[in-house]
Structure 1
Amino acid sequence: MNKKPSDEVVMAWVYLLKAQNAAMGHVEAMFKKGGLPPFSWYDVLWELEKEDAVGLRQFQLEERLLVSQYGLSRLLTRIEKAEYVERLPCSEDGRGHRVVITRPGKKIRAKMWEVYSQAINTAVGDRLSDKQCEQLKRLLANLVD
């Protein structure tokens, strides 16, 4: 079981990480240039917007985002201070809360998507053909599934 990875496997790993870092660095730079919140806010707002007025419990967000409870709690506090989300009492559990996206939260998420979609296109769409993207998707799916 102590099989070491081949040089090809190690280099694939290195380029996977480099590609991810380059792409995310580009997205973060474009958000900053546009005066938008950091990327970490986007997925939170997106998950909450999909649920609309119902919102999600914090543990549900943790499961969807794979973020630690402590990290998510701090992140939600920052997003709540910006008035993009609010915590409402949970009818099923008097002690719990549901996190819901606000109207300003929906607006900022839409602005973020405008920039994010362009960044995706710049980082991937302008460099790979649709056929190459399909191949890459299939290869990466093997690592996720």
Structure 2
Amino acid sequence: MNDDLDFDIDEFLTKPLFAHLATASSAGPRESPVWFLWEEGALWLIGNHGDSFPKRLRNEPRCAVGIVDFDLAKGTLRHVGIRGIASIEPLDDQRLYRLLQRYLGADPADWNPSFRSLVIDHLDLMVRIRPESIVARDQSYFSNASPHRYVP
């Protein structure tokens, strides 16, 4: 795997950021915003058999994922891009909890009951993306407030 990393991706990928999954379809490219978990050198996503992105990944497992952490006030802009191969995996309850608690909090009793019944209770698969390449760019120099300010 060719990695081009400006910063530690393990630390970056612990943040509850949104990922954007790019897939191919017979009608052209598609993009899906997804929650993720970075474990065991792979990106894990959640879904169900009715979702369109797992269907597309079954037909064409090559995909790309972009994850951005942007804070204008702090002048930070970091991006991780992953290109890899996806596989559809059985739902792992413990991994599912680790993924959800990043976004919803540690105690499932505090999670919104409507969200649980409409979304979480229907999850029945996980997508594992094994990276073939990873790029991590720190482009924080764009802002005058940033300590990484670009000076030509």
With normalisation by structure 2, the TM-score equals 0.26
Query: Which structure would you say has the larger RCO, counting Cα contacts within 8 Å and 6 or more residues apart?
Result: 2
Greater per-residue helix proportion: 1
State TM-score, norm by structure 1.
0.27
- Greater fraction of residues in strand: 2
